[in-house]
Amino acid sequence: MIDSAVIDAIVTSIVCSLAATGIAAIVGAPIGVWLGRCRFRGRRALLVLARTGMALPTVLIGLLFYTLLSRSGPMGGAGLLFSRTAIVIGELALALPIVVALFAASTEALPSGLERTVRTLGAGRLAVFRTVLSEARLGLVVAVLAAFGRVVSELGIAMMLGGNVKHHTRTMTTAIALETQKGAFGASLVLGFVLLGISLGVNVVVHWISTPRRNVEARPS
Q: Global pTM? A: 0.88
Domain boundaries, the chain: 4-210
pLDDT score for 173 = 94
Q: Helix or strand or coil: residue 119?
A: helix
Half-sphere exposure of residue 67: CA atoms within 13 angstroms, side-chain side: 5
At the topology level, CATH places domain 4-210 in MetI-like fold (1.10.3720)
Instruction: Judge contact between 126 and 59, C-beta under 8 A.
Output: no
Buried b (16+ CB within 10 A) or exposed e, 179-193: beeeeeeebbebbbe
**pLDDT averaged over consecutive 10-residue blocks of the chain (221 residues)?**
82 96 96 92 94 92 95 90 96 96 93 84 83 88 93 94 92 91 84 89 82 55 45
Q: Helix or strand or coil: residue 183?
A: coil
Which has the closest alpha carbon to 98: 208, 11, 206?
Answer: 206
Instruction: Judge contact between 136 and 128, C-beta under 8 A.
Output: no
